[in-house]
A and B are shown apart, each in its own frame.
Chain A
Amino acid sequence: MPEKPLHVLLADDDEDDRLIFKEALEDIKIKTNVITVNDGIELMEYLTRTDVRLPDVVFLDLNMPRKNGMQCLEEIRSSDALKHLTIAIYSTSGAERDIEETFVKGANVYIKKPNDFSTLKKVVEEAMRINWQYHISGINKESFMLSL
């Protein structure tokens, strides 16, 4: 495991969800730096800045004002500079159709927002761990799909 922290970016319009997510990341064994943005427009602005390091994982809420998660996902996957990013969908929907659609559009991880904090910690840690496995083993990320 890396001693250096992983860079994590979360796009979510709900302030409480952002706060809980940050707390969950602080509590897991894998060290992370978290940056949060409030919607899809802010996210795409951040990702296209040239003065910042791209995140190792982007967590993306599907339901956001101005630009939703699905639109961001499509933009990211059609951009040469961004298409290699690991995208984890972080959503309240657990419907199988929604899950499959995001994978078809190129998501790597799908997390249904859990109702309790300990489950959240567990799934976020699992997502980070698997992402790390892909990162170090040089396996084609195309087959990286994880539904939690």
Chain B
Amino acid sequence: MANLQEHSLSVIMNILIKYDISFTCKAILQEQLEKLAVDFNIIGLNEIEFTKPLSSSQTERLKLLLQNYGIEVIENQKVALVQKIKDTIVDMVWNDDILPNIATSTYLADALNHSYGYLSNLFSEITYSTIENYIIFQKIERVKQMTISENYTLTEISYKLNYSSVAHLSNQFKKTTGLTPSAFQRIVKKKRENRAAVIN
């Protein structure tokens, strides 16, 4: 209990502390990351792994949260731009009912303000793949989606996704997946029947 006399003397008291700095940082990270409400793992001291990619608004929020503690998110410019290229392609392939009828090279160059040559080289350097392959990958995924859940015919799909003909679409499907569109449909149908059989 402090008594009056001690107060008036205003005795200064010092407490010494020590930190386990890595423990402290981890605790701060843990606390702030939980605010994002996403699954994550803290790897060592300098890396956080997310089970799903963060959206750009989540990344911004994370940066702000950590800034208060003097923790900075290191951005690799190249990786960030490749992510933008991918996002733009996904947008282009999935978000409109009908694909825009312009060359994707022009579309990407306009959307990202870099020459297509630069984007293309960068993409290949970071991903071991090419922009063309990535576009085909996304388009074929959309084709699958449209055949499975929306019941479009191949003719309708080839029109919507800007294929010059059904044959072109069919060939690209086969080349990308190793299966013909009809084999793919057959497999999906059988899978569903099997699942229904298990449930009933």
Contacts and interface: CB of A to CB of B under 8 A. Distances in A.
Tell me whether chain B's interface is mostly helix, strand or loop, or mixed.
helix
B53 A129 contact: no
B144 A138 contact: no
Interface residues of A, number: 21
Contacts of B191: 103-104, 106
B43 to A, nearest CB: 9
B90 A146 contact: no
Contacts of B179: 103, 145, 147
Chain B interface category by residue count: 20 to 34
B127 A138 contact: no
A16 B148 CA distance: 40
A148 interface: yes
B141 A139 contact: yes
A146 B137 contact: no
A137 B145 CA distance: 15
Contacts of A137: 86, 90, 138
B138 to A, nearest CB: 8
Interface of B: 52-53, 86, 90, 126-129, 134, 137-138, 141, 144-145, 148, 177-179, 183-184, 186-188, 190-191, 194
Given A100-B186, A139-B141, A143-B141, 5 more contacts: A129-B128, A133-B137, A137-B86, A145-B178, A148-B178
Nearest 9 Cβ contacts at the A-B interface = A147-B178, A143-B144, A104-B190, A103-B187, A1-B128, A29-B128, A147-B179, A133-B137, A104-B191
Interface of A: 1, 29-30, 96, 100, 103-104, 106, 110, 129-130, 133, 136-139, 143, 145-148
